[in-house]
Amino acid sequence: MTRIPILCSCWVFVAAVAIADEPKTPGTVDPEALIKRSYAVQRERKEVIAALIEAVEQDERELVHYWHEPTTMYMIWRLGNLKAEEAIPLLVSRLTYLPHSQEHFAGKLRTYDYYPAASSLVQIGYPAAKAVVSVISNPKSTDEEVEIAAWVILCALAQNQFDPQERDRGRAVAFLKEWIRIRGDEEVRDNYYRAVRFIWNHEPSLDPPERVKKLVEIREKYSKPLPQTPYKGGGFF
């Protein structure tokens, strides 16, 4: 008589263990695990962004050598991929940073994507567009800086950054007009009109910036090809 309850208990225990060990189906979601994971990802994201910012600033202080530039460039791009609003001041300060290594991308990038900081600001979006207004509001800004800032505003606010439409241009001009008016910088009206003309007239292109073109021209002009046959006396030189 006592064996039946014992057998039943053992069967229930084995069944419970089997159910607990049964692998979850692909559609099964563990909400608590996801919540814990989201907190871990958030913490890791902040740590990575802080480390990237510190690394870029360190490179700037040490005047990065040519062979380090690709690494700096990719770190800046990653800040944009992560939509790191914390990095906006750094990116704005390096708005016209144009790595020498960019010449290898000639004909493969949009004109202003050659500027990694500007490209990252576009990915960050509205907060970045708001920040670069300070560049246009600065009477000491160069024409290059004003045009890059205008490009950031146009593409950051566009529904499709790769193909801004007429309505996107109108939105960008209205945005810029609003912030310039709020700041009340009358002395920067020339910068403002230059930015507005750029926004209305800019068309996406794969044409490299002038600085990249000049660098390519210099390299082609002064590069010395290796002779096919050695000079008399031995050697190629």
Per-residue model confidence as pLDDT tens digits over 147-185 = 999 999 999 999 888 888 888 999 999 998 888 765 556
Residue of 208, 232, 230 lying closest to 219 (CA atoms) = 208
**pLDDT for position 14:** 44
The string of pLDDT tens digits covering residues 123-154 is 999 999 999 999 998 888 999 999 999 999 99
**CA atoms of 86 and 70, how far apart (whole Å):** 22
Asked if pLDDT for residue 17 goes beyond 60, the answer is: no
Q: What is the mean pLDDT of residues 197-217?
A: 81
**pLDDT for position 11:** 47
- For the record, the structure tokens of 99 come out as 């790595």
Q: How far is CA 138 from CA 16, 175, 182, 192, 215, in A?
A: 71, 17, 14, 10, 28
Long-range CB contacts for residues 206-214, cutoff 8 Å, separation at least 24: 206/107, 206/108, 206/109, 206/110, 206/111, 207/111, 208/102, 208/103, 208/106, 208/107, 208/109, 208/111, 208/114, 209/98, 209/111, 209/112, 209/114, 209/115, 211/98, 212/98, 212/102, 212/103, 212/106, 212/114
**CA atoms of 78 and 109, how far apart (whole Å):** 17
Q: What percent of the chain has pLDDT over 70?
A: 68
